[in-house]
Amino acid sequence: MGTANNSLRIIISGGGTGGHIFPAVAIANEVKSRYPNAEILFVGANGRMEMTRVPEAGYKIVGLDISGLQRRLTPENLMFPIKVMRAVRKAGKLIEQFRPDAVVGVGGYASAPVLLAATSRGIPSLIQEQNSYAGLVNKLLAKRVDKICVAYDGMDKFFPADRLVLTGNPVRTEIATGNRAEALAFFGLDASRPVLLVIGGSLGARTLNQATAAALPRLQAADVQLLWQTGKVYYPQAQEQAAPYAATGQHALEFVQRMDLAYAAADVVVSRAGALSVSELCLTGKPSILVPSPNVAEDHQTKNAMALVRKDAALLVPDTEAATRLYDEALALLQNPTQQQQLSANVLQLARPAATTTIVDELLKLVKQ
């Protein structure tokens, strides 16, 4: 494998959101655990989240100047083909210098130029698609790459069936190992009263935050405790709104470091339907109400949520109805242990705890070929 000193060399490209970056780092960590001498280079898009998150995880990253195509005619769009050509040229140079044994794309702007440059040089390549609805970049590259690792059934409507492997999404498996007693002590909650966990994603979700703020008196009246992850921007306001209810166990949190304990404490979860949130809910087996974000490409969060709803493994409330319906549904579910058990049993069936290992198995098969 690889160079004279026999160390494995891998390039991992993509990013843009936590949903792309987390799987990328999980794949890198799994390669390193098997081949401690492996050399791994990340390629991201300048100015995006991966440029800080990847070095924090201990890996080297190089940035390309690339952005997405705007959905209307703008000067940036006219520059887009030129930017892509430049990025592909730079990616080609990186590949010639680094000489990878294989290249991985996780979606996001930077994965396109890197995979184009790699496949045109005959370097083995693999894509990991997190969503139930394929991203544009991955659809365009599907015919050029060797393997496509997906998280949902039925992806052959986007990709060549002979290259598909159903692996699931890389998820922090320790997220499912939280201890309930430790969790209740950690958040200062009472074991005899139900707990609702509300997660708006790393940036927070305005609709969820507004509906939750309005529901605080109802939650208190129903004797429900609340862990409310608000995101950074909304936190000061949420803290103020939750303060009068703190004594009865309503807590606004900017960010939850210990998600394992948050899941362990929760009886019911209200969440956006990003690919990784959905995979975590499957792994933790939590009954959930999903409120898909309307601000994402091709409405893929609704499609992610429907993959669970169709199997009676979650409930769905559209973003436009969150203000009126979300807390009726949440309180009804909190008061219905039978329905909670049913959703929990069904969602656990969809978990794929070995996703990262399987993806790396597929990657190493390509290298050995």
Could you list the residues known to form a binding site, using ranges.
17-19, 131, 172, 202, 275-280, 301
Are residues 250 and 216 in contact, defined by beta-carbon separation less than 8 angstroms? yes
How many angstroms separate the CA atoms of 41 and 24, rounded? 11
Residue 240 CB contacts under 8 Å (≥ 6 apart), including other chains: none
Q: Take residue 97 and report the two structure tokens written for it.
A: 């210098």
Q: Which two tokens stand for residue 205?
A: 């979700």
C-beta separation of 66 from 110 below 8 A = yes
Would you call 270 helix, strand, or coil by DSSP?
A: strand
Relative to beta strand 102-105, strand 9-13 is parallel
Q: Using the Cα atoms of residue 361, residue 363, residue 367 and residue 369 in order, give the sign of their dihedral.
A: positive
- Would strands 195-199 and 268-271 be described as parallel, antiparallel, or unpaired? parallel
Residue showing tokens 């598909």: 164
One-letter amino acid at 139 equals K
> Which residues line the annotated binding site for UDP-N-acetyl-alpha-D-glucosamine?
17-19, 131, 172, 202, 275-280, 301
> Per this entry, what is the length of the chain?
369
Q: Residue 57 and residue 70: Cα distance in Å, rounded? A: 31
